[in-house]
Structures are given as structure tokens and as C-alpha cells.
Amino acid sequence: MYHLECIECGQKYTDSEVVYTCKCGGLLDVIYDYSAIQLDMERLRTEAPSVWKYKALLPVEGKPVSIHEGGTPLYRCDRLAEKIGIKELYVKHEGLNPSGSFKDRGMTVGVTKAMELGMKTLACASTGNTSASLSTYGAKAGLPVIVLLPEGKVALGKVAQALIHGAKVLSIRGNFDEAVVLVRQLCDEEKIYLLNSINPYRLEGQKTIGYEICDQLGFNVPDRVIVPVGNAGNTAAIYKGFRELRELGVTESVPKMTGIQTEGACPVTKAFKKGVEEIIPEKNPETIATAIRIGNPVNAKKALRAIYGSGGYSEAVSDEELIEAQKDLAQLEGIGVEPASATSVAGLKKLIDSGVIDRDETVVCITTGHLLKDPEEVINISTKPITVDANIEAVRKAVFSR
Ligand SMILES: *Cc1c(COP(=O)(O)O)cnc(C)c1O
Ligand SMILES: [Zn+2]
């Protein structure tokens, strides 16, 4: 029904091999025989969205390791749309997955695949959410988890999750890109299963974001989908979801995939602006959005192909711009997100203002992670609570003070 194939040289690998990249170094993709896939349209139109609603399009046979991932809300955001100056804006809030980020969609598929392959230990390097998600799914599967985190650069909530779910947490004296190199070597040499987004099965789970957006719009396709970009897997995954629905005749188009980075960590945006597929890695990426503080994104080529292939765009926003968007989401729409997530909305605003995005487009912004992931950042950007004495005069005075 499916196999792995190199996106560079076309080399094929079977579904029983433990491989992450091709012998030539190229990224792998899961390739299906779409003519053999039967979609039950009646079921698609009636069942509530979730990752496993789309099992017919996922590369696993057995019982999923699942704690109800996906099925996140697609909010219509009229107050935010009015402020930004666009007609029709939706936000898909991936922070409402079980561990609080979209990584759960990839992990439920990746960890199920690890079980099928008979792997005994799981590992990842992470800017935070991958480790939180893998720890969660490792616990559900009953498999030990090892996570490598860049010391001092992971938001508090994410470290807490990895710890309570029982992972072995290594704090690496280095950045995320260095941790990725280390975990790959560890996994290769010790027969540990790697669940970073270089693992093609992870991206298969994440492509369901594309399915769900169509599903929630009554099997219509928006003009544009805007995604925060870090290691760049999600942009490629969502694009694949839309492409497949078109391939299967469910829809007729794909949205313009638009990837947003931060000015301090934007190798994908720089490559896009030059019109090339090769990124130049950044040695010292820096941004308040720690989830996407990545200088050498492993899936950059897949993401750039998604952006070019869909007629999309890429832009970088400043930390100040993303903080404003984070506050707008919270205060105009009741959507609480972590800093990286707000880049999609900050990017939309910037691209509306610069005329790249048309005000008549139907746009879906992905918010990738939950507000409570990074409470320290929120405290830092917010006005402090007012401390008052425990009497009514003091309370009244504070309530009516400016
Ligand atoms: C992982 C992550 C991203 C980046 O996703 P990529 O697939 O690595 O580009 C963005 N935001 C949050 C909150 C994340 O956890
Ligand atoms: Zn190859």
C-alpha cells in the first residue's frame, strides 16, 4: 500500500526498514498507491474530525497509540480580522491537542509505527514541544523515552511535561541544532527510535491538519494557510494533506502555503526571498519564540517546495510583532498561544500591510502551541498584578485607578 521514497534520488525503502534519510542524504517521503485507497465519503462528512478519522490515509495497520489527538477547533475570528483588515480569517488552534501542541498528531502515528517496528526505546532532540509530546505518547505506549533539550532554552511548561511523563531528560550545553546531531548519532548507534520530524511517519500524522481544515470548511479549501516555521516539517506536512485530498478527488485546489519565521532565526525565509531550495544554516539563532529558535531546519527543502509549489510566500517577523499578535489573539479572540504560534498571525498582518496578501482572501492561520507552555514569557510581556490591602476601600481605589 505504501513505501518510503527519497525526494532527491527516488531510492525506495520498504515500510519495515528503520530509516530516516536516504543513503544519498535526501529526505524521505511516504508514497501511497492512491488508486488502492477507498475513502468512505459518507463517513468523512458525518464523523467528527480527529487524526484517526483518516486512518485510510495513514501508514499504519495496527491499533493506534492514541489519546484523542486532532479534532482541534477552527475558529472564525472576526474581531481579529477587522483589526488586521481582512474579510475572512480562521485560526486553527493546535494548542488544544492532548499535550498542547500539533506535535501530538505526528507522535500518535510515529509512536504507533515504533511499536509496529518493534522498537524498545524512543528519543528526540527538542526545542520543547516534541519532547513534551513524545514523553506523553511514550508513557501511553509503555516505552522508555530519552529527550535532549538545549540547556536554558526550553519553556518551563514543556520541561515540566517531559519530567512528569517520566522521560529521561538531558539538558545539552549547546543549541537545538547541536542536540539534533547528537540524537541522530545516538539513535543510529544504539537502535533507539528517533522521533524528530526528520522521521517521515511524524509528518504523515501532521498532514491531517490539512484534511481537518477542509473538513471543517465543508470540504472547501481556503485561499491561504499560514504556518509558523521552525524545523519546517509542519509546512510540508500540511501541504501534503491538501495535495492528497485533491489527488483523491475530494477537493479541487490547494491553498497558498505561507511560512513565517522570526527575524532572529529565518533561514527558510531568506532562501525563499532568493528563490532557492537550499538554506544557509544560521549559527546563533535567537528569538523569544523558543519553539522555532532553529538555525538549520532539517525539513527546509520539503517546506520550500511546498511554498513554491503552492504559489505561497515566506516572511520573517520581529519578536515585538509576534508579541503584539499573541496579545491580539488572547484579547480579541480568547485564544491563548505560546510565542511561536503567534508568528502566523503576525506574518498575516505584515503581509496584508505590505500588499502581498489580498484582503479578500480566505486565510487560515495555524496556532501551534498552547499559552501555558511558556508562562514566563507571558509574565514578562504583561502588566503586573496590582497588590492591594484586604479592605474594600483599597480594592475600590485599585479598581477605579488608571
Ligand atoms: C514544533 C513547533 C513549531 C515548528 O514546527 P516545524 O514543523 O518544526 O516547522 C512551531 N510552533 C510550535 C509551538 C512548535 O512546537
Ligand atoms: Zn536519495
CATH number, domain at 82? 3.40.50.1100
Return residues with CB closer than 5 A to ligand 2 (ion): 6, 8-9, 11, 22, 24, 26
- DSSP run (H or E) holding 170: strand 168-172
369 Cα: distance to centroid of ligand 1 (angstroms)? 8
Q: Which three cell numbers stand for residue 366?
A: 495555524
Of the candidates 19, 16, 195, 27, the one whose C-alpha atom is nearest the C-alpha of residue 111 is 195
Neighbouring C-beta atoms of residue 388, cutoff 10 Å:
14
Comparing CA positions, the residue from 75, 342, 44, 9 lying closest to residue 215 is 44
Name the residue at shortest CA distance from atom 8 of ligand 1.
Answer: 231
Residue-range definition of the domain harbouring residue 206: 74-100+202-381
* Nearest CA owner, ligand 1 atom 3: 230
Collect all residues with Cβ–Cβ distance below 8 Å to 298 and sequence separation of at least 6.
27, 180, 196, 197, 198, 231, 232, 233
Ligand nearest to the CA of 300: 1
Helices (H), ranges, 217-318: 233-247, 267-274, 300-309
CA dist 48 → 56, 215, 250 (Å): 15, 9, 17
| Residue 230 forms part of a structural domain | yes
CA of 20 to the centre of ligand 2 (A): 11
Pairing of strands 74-76, 28-32: unpaired
Measured over the CA atoms of residue 215, residue 217, residue 223 and residue 229, the dihedral's sign is negative
**Pocket residues for ligand 1 (CB within 6 Å)?**
101, 103, 129, 197, 228-234, 291-292, 338, 340-341, 368-369
Res 1: pLDDT: 84
369/95 Cα distance (integer angstroms): 4
What is the domain count for the chain? 1
Residue 305 lies in a domain: yes
Whether 86 and 134 have beta carbons less than 8 Å apart is answered as: no
pLDDT, residue 402, reads: 83
Whether 262 contacts 319, CB under 8 Å: yes
Among 69, 198, 208, 292, name the best residue to mutate to test ligand 1's pocket (greatest count of ligand atoms within 8 A of Cβ).
292
Domain-embedded: residue 330: yes
How would you classify the pairing of strands 12-13 and 2-6?
Answer: antiparallel
Query: Alpha carbon of 75 to those of 50, 80, 217, 335: distances in Å?
Result: 16, 11, 11, 9
Measuring CA to CA, how many Å separate 198 from each of 17, 157, 202? Answer: 15, 24, 8
Predicted local distance difference test score (pLDDT) of residue 38:
87
Report if pTM > 0.85: yes
What's the grid cell of residue 339?
510565542
Question: To test ligand 1's pocket by mutation, which of 209, 234, 344 has the most ligand atoms within 8 angstroms of CB?
Answer: 234
Would 353 be classed as within a structural domain?
A: yes
Atom of ligand 1 nearest to the CA of 303: 9
- Residue 332 belongs to some domain of the structure: yes
Q: DSSP code of 370?
A: B
Do the domain assignments include residue 52?
no
List the chain pLDDT tens, one digit each, 402 residues: 899 999 999 999 999 999 999 999 999 999 999 999 989 999 999 999 999 999 999 999 889 999 999 999 999 999 999 999 999 999 999 999 999 999 999 999 999 999 999 999 999 999 999 999 999 999 999 999 999 999 999 999 999 999 999 999 999 999 999 999 999 999 999 999 999 999 999 999 999 999 999 999 999 999 999 999 999 999 999 999 999 999 999 999 999 999 999 999 999 999 999 999 999 999 999 999 999 999 999 999 999 999 999 999 999 999 999 999 999 999 999 999 999 999 999 999 999 999 999 999 999 999 999 999 999 999 999 999 999 999 999 999 999 998
Inside any domain, residue 218? yes
256 assigned to some structural domain:
yes
Determine the pLDDT at residue 62: 87
